Structure 1
Amino acid sequence: MASLLKPSGVDAPDHALGQYRAWKIADGPEAPADLAWISAAGAGAPCAHRLLPHGEPSLALLRRRTLDGEVSELRVVVCGPYYKAKQYRPSPREELIAVRLKPEVSAALFGIAPADYSNAAIANAPPVLTDACARTLRLGETADAFSVLDALKDDVQRFTQGRAFKNGPESRAAETMRKTEGRIRLREIAGALGVSERHLRRRFADHVGCAPKAYARYLQITAAALAAERHAAPDWANIAAGAGFHDQAHMINAFKAETGLTPTAFHAERRALL
């Protein structure tokens, strides 16, 4: 199995936790994806980890190996959004090599409506995407995970070239929410876009797959969790303020509602995987 240690020519990950590594993709409003990630489980009993609530689906190559290292399973899959945090335990010698799609364009560009794949850890990708990822599949037979990831990014980019897509207000709203990690209010976004808040809320839910308030909360929780991860003893009041929560109590209630744990318990669980 390919090592997830940083090889020559590969940037250090922007986030790492247990068997998971993620890299931000340099993107703009027209880019279809914003994150590349690899999850590679070893031969022993892999640790379960709690997935953060999120609204973005991912397109991935699933690769599983036998005890002697031979590829036993290779297919293109969709890892759906998780609207509630959930424990996920990969099987031994399992790799997921993926790009995270922007939910507001995933249905129009890829035929992946986020709500249709909600809470699906692994689901077969639409056949047209499997066909589009033929190079990724070929490399998956023998290449290391980083080479496969580069091929997948290229296949995704080629698949979207020339495909018409209307960049509506919901797309710009979702982009703004991600850039501000959910801290900006929808009414402010609607005002800047020159549309009514009600109209934007309806279009957002239809295209992104969840309500804008829920999407903003997922982004805030993620921002708080990743900020806390960097410290053995986080300053929770500062983290709450930095993530845009009204106060620490507001953050605690959000974590309990979306993850089932307090921020302190969630932090302890994740720090154990570092």
Structure 2
Amino acid sequence: MRTTDIGHRTMAMPAHPAPLGRRAQVPTGGAPCPIVAMTTRHFRRDMQRIAVPHVEAQLVVRLGPTIPGGLDIHALGVRPKVQRKFIRGGQHAVLVRLQPGTYERALGVSAGELTGRMVPLEDLWSRTHAHALQEQLASAPDTEAACTLLKTAISAHAARTTSARAPSPLLQAALDLLQVASVTRTAQALDISERQLRRILHDAVGIGPKTVSRLVRFQQAVRAAQSARAINWSNIAVDAGYYDQAHLIAEFRAIADSTPRMLMTELRSA
């Protein structure tokens, strides 16, 4: 694939990035679109990549002379901790975040089976479909065309997978509520038990509601710090739903193996 040097660019499905827990565009037939957003990245030099965890699974395409065969495609399950990986310069990547509740349709594997794993696409799709997509991506003229190919292929696979279980109708409400409420209050608001809530989230995302809530708070804190001119961790802690700054620091150590200040330095360097 001939790539354009576009650095780091995010393309959402639809036109604007969908916040965590927001339903993506719904196509004909009532099933949610499998894709939340697509991000393209060009790693111009050798560097340490810092991946902040999301509650969405991802499909990742990597291209470049340091990749065996010049191209590979992997599915990444939800990872509850920050990931650090050394990347060789010259690589391009397209990252596709998938809508919770669509993993089985889009990838052919349940959310629970994918959690914490990186699996080659050819181990999930039929070898014929996986290799056809690889060939198309290898000959794509640029990253814009590659994104279009990925969207088409993922949507087509989701349409073919008619045996996948439909997500709970309470899934979206649960994801929305966990951004602002505790697990107990979320279950109460949905009029279900906490055990039912855990099953709904595990089936659709691969992790339980407590982990979802932790990752949501962490993401909100990181985004707030990245957008602030002067970082006030006490205010960020309150706004993100932590008890206090000490709680925020403890969660950063648990999720990122780092203090908040150190993590922000890493992210700026990356």
The question of a shared fold, defined as TM-score above 0.5 by the shorter chain, is answered with yes
After superposition, the C-alpha distances for 1:194-214 in whole angstroms (9 at most, x for unaligned) are: 322222123323442212111
Match of 1:54 in 2: 54
Cα displacement (A) at 1:128: 2.8
Q: What does 1:16-165 correspond to in 2, within 5 Å?
A: 20-26=8-14, 27-28=24-25, 30-42=32-44, 44=45, 46-65=46-65, 72-120=69-117, 122-125=118-121, 126-128=124-126, 131=129, 134=132, 137-161=135-159, 163=162, 165=165
After superposition, the C-alpha distances for 1:94-118 in whole angstroms (9 at most, x for unaligned) are: 2221311134331354223344444
Cα displacement (A) at 1:135: 5.1
Cα displacement (A) at 1:259: 0.6
TM-score (norm: length of structure 2)? 0.79
Matched residue type, 1:226: R
Distance of 2:250 and 2:40 partners within structure 1: 31
Q: Quick one: structure 1 residues 80 and 94, their matched pair in 2 at CA, closer, same or farther if it must change by over 3 Å?
A: farther
Q: Choose which of 218, 221, 240 in structure 1 pairs with 2:215.
A: 218
Higher relative contact order (CA 8 A, sep 6+): 2
Distance of 1:193 and 1:76 partners within structure 2: 38
After superposition, the C-alpha distances for 1:3-44 in whole angstroms (9 at most, x for unaligned) are: 443xxxxxxxxxxxxx543333231572222121123223x4
Match of 2:249 in 1: 252
Distance of 1:165 and 1:206 partners within structure 2: 9
Q: What does 1:189-228 correspond to in 2, within 5 Å?
A: 189-228=186-225
Cα displacement (A) at 1:174: 5.1
Distance of 2:172 and 2:212 partners within structure 1: 14
Cα displacement (A) at 1:189: 3.0
Match of 1:168 in 2: 168
After superposition, the C-alpha distances for 1:68-104 in whole angstroms (9 at most, x for unaligned) are: xx99422332133222112112233222213111343
Contact 1:61 1:76 in 2 (8 A): yes
Distance of 1:113 and 1:90 partners within structure 2: 29
Structure 2: 5+ residue stretches without partners: 15-23, 27-31
Give the RMSD, CA atoms, in angstroms.
2.9
After superposition, the C-alpha distances for 1:26-66 in whole angstroms (9 at most, x for unaligned) are: 31572222121123223x4x210221133322113232237
Contact 1:50 1:87 in 2 (8 A): yes
Match of 2:29 in 1: none
TM-score (norm: length of structure 1)? 0.78
After superposition, the C-alpha distances for 1:108-142 in whole angstroms (9 at most, x for unaligned) are: 5422334444444x531113387068356414324
Counting matched residue pairs gives 251
My pick for the range that moved more, 230-239 or 147-156, is 230-239
Contact 2:183 2:194 in 1 (8 A): yes
Q: Quick one: structure 1 residues 85 and 130, their matched pair in 2 at CA, closer, same or farther if it must change by over 3 Å?
A: farther
SS in structure 1 of the partner of residue 231 of structure 2: coil
Contact 1:76 1:130 in 2 (8 A): no
SS in structure 1 of the partner of residue 37 of structure 2: strand
Q: Quick one: structure 1 residues 206 and 158, their matched pair in 2 at CA, closer, same or farther if it must change by over 3 Å?
A: closer
